[in-house]
Structure 1
Amino acid sequence: MSQAMDEVLAELAVLEDPKVREANAKRGDDHGVNLSRLRAVAKRLKTQHSLALELWATGDTAAMLLAILICRPKDFGRDELDTMLRQSRAPKVHDWLVSYVVKKSAHAEDLRRAWMLDPDAVVASAGWALTTERVAKKPEGLDLSGLLGTIEAEMKGAPDRLQWAMNHTLAQIGIEHPVHRSRAISIGERLQVLKDYPTPPNCTSPYAPAWINEIVRRRLGSQDAVPPDGVERLP
């Protein structure tokens, strides 16, 4: 273990806050470091890929999150990323790895296709997260109708994290692609997934029909506007 590694781990230990750990535990994350403070550490360290590899290898959630922030995403091979994802069982590590590392990799599309078919629901959820990204930014070549069919058939009974990721894809298709909007809303209304999810005031519900209609309304700039495909919003 390098001296730099020792110093960083000692700093993370000082930043450990029992109240933060307790709050994170409710979301399935096992670390007690405030993320703003963690980002401040990463900003000071800047990119240090070798140190990132050492931090990742500890298996400690806070250290793995810091590793994601200071690594060099393009330096990871396809198999390395696959292994890292399977090691990412804490939700925040999983989400950050996909968002901050895999999405920047040349292997993202290959991994997206493979992960979507993986029998491990957590791994599959990463494939759906990458699919959501493509739906929004690079939909060319995607079978959007086929994706809606899969969502309609499988989302209701999917494990929580996979269900959440599929629901995000459903909402994104409805938001970004007017030709599929009414079908996306209809699927959401029929499946009722996340309809009763507790949503704070002034936040958008993750229930796909409400989510789709709210974002479309904002983009149109009028509460009275009708989406381009003629589908009325939910009240």
Structure 2
Amino acid sequence: MTVDEVLAQLAELDDPKVRAVNERHGDDHGVKLAALRSLAKGLGTQQELARNLWGAGDTAGQLVAVLICRPRDLGEQELDDMLRHARSPKVHDWLVNYVVRRSPLAEALRLRWFDDSDPVVASAGWALTTDRVARKPQGLDLAELLDTIERDLSGAPARLQWAMNHTLAQIGIEHEEHRARAIDIGERLRVLEDYPTPPGCTSPFAPVWIREIVARKAG
């Protein structure tokens, strides 16, 4: 299937009601994610098609590209360029979660992005740091991470703040020796304390998030 054929199928799947909801979150596409995933599953892994779809610049097409690419075949500079052009929140999140995290270059990119002057790029570095806190904390200075969070969390732009807050919560959840300090930082900074949380979901307010997940794991 060609790029034009994929984009034509996505255009047929576009639902104005879905688009209106997505646009409120900064995502300019109207394709239900289940339909988008189904289309990608039918295509299978196609690296060249993925590159061409990404280059077309269509948000729904880029989401399909993320699902059909082969992460190991993407170089560090290519992934860096992709992230810097992924301005849609959903494309950004899927690129980090489905591609970069599965790449052997994940750690190099984490270090490259962590202190980037672009807060959206830096948020990807923090997302990868959260993953390391949970899965492979060896070599991370968790106390230093908490120092940085304590200093910068309150004034960080929204997407970077969200990612830093996730790291804060993950440190508290996974590392008992740092839990009290993580909770204390959250309680003093009050970041996301009033974030609207649907019934049955966990609040992103770090002290609540930490205590709830720790309690679940214990019981």
TM-score in terms of structure 1 length: 0.92
User: 2:19 matched to which residue of 1?
Assistant: 21
| Larger gyration radius, structure 1 or structure 2 | 1
User: 1:115 matched to which residue of 2?
Assistant: 113
Distance 1:43 1:113 in 2: 32
Partner of 2:31: helix, strand, or coil? coil
Distance 1:73 1:149 in 2: 33
User: 1:232 matched to which residue of 2?
Assistant: none
Q: Look up the equivalent residue of 1:38 and give its one-letter code.
A: L
Q: After TM superposition, give the deviation of residue 89 of structure 1 in Å.
A: 0.5
User: 1:177 matched to which residue of 2?
Assistant: 175
Q: Look up the equivalent residue of 1:20 and give its one-letter code.
A: V
Q: After TM superposition, give the deviation of residue 26 of structure 1 in Å.
A: 0.9
Q: Look up the equivalent residue of 2:148 and give its one-letter code.
A: T
Partner of 2:204: helix, strand, or coil? coil
Q: After TM superposition, give the deviation of residue 7 of structure 1 in Å.
A: 1.4
Distance 1:46 1:79 in 2: 25
Distance 1:29 1:79 in 2: 25
Q: Look up the equivalent residue of 1:100 and give its one-letter code.
A: Y
User: 1:156 matched to which residue of 2?
Assistant: 154
User: 2:98 matched to which residue of 1?
Assistant: 100
Partner of 2:18: helix, strand, or coil? helix
User: 2:212 matched to which residue of 1?
Assistant: 214
Task: Report 1:64-143 matches (<5 A).
Answer: 64-143=62-141
Distance 1:160 1:9 in 2: 31
User: 1:35 matched to which residue of 2?
Assistant: 33
Unaligned runs of at least 5 residues, structure 2: none
- CA deviation profile, 1:117-136 (whole Å, cap 9, x unmatched): 10000000000000000000
TM-score in terms of structure 2 length: 0.99
Q: After TM superposition, give the deviation of residue 177 of structure 1 in Å.
A: 0.2
Partner of 1:139: helix, strand, or coil? coil
Q: Look up the equivalent residue of 1:66 and give its one-letter code.
A: V
Distance 1:24 1:47 in 2: 26
Distance 1:62 1:207 in 2: 31
Q: CA RMSD in A?
A: 0.6
- CA deviation profile, 1:155-178 (whole Å, cap 9, x unmatched): 100000000000000000000000
Distance 1:26 1:123 in 2: 21
Distance 1:199 1:10 in 2: 37
- CA deviation profile, 1:177-227 (whole Å, cap 9, x unmatched): 000000000000000000000001111000000000000010111xxxxxx
Distance 1:25 1:36 in 2: 18
Q: Look up the equivalent residue of 2:47 and give its one-letter code.
A: H
- CA deviation profile, 1:26-74 (whole Å, cap 9, x unmatched): 1111111100000000111110111001100011100000000000010
Partner of 2:2: helix, strand, or coil? helix
User: 1:56 matched to which residue of 2?
Assistant: 54
- Give % identity: 67
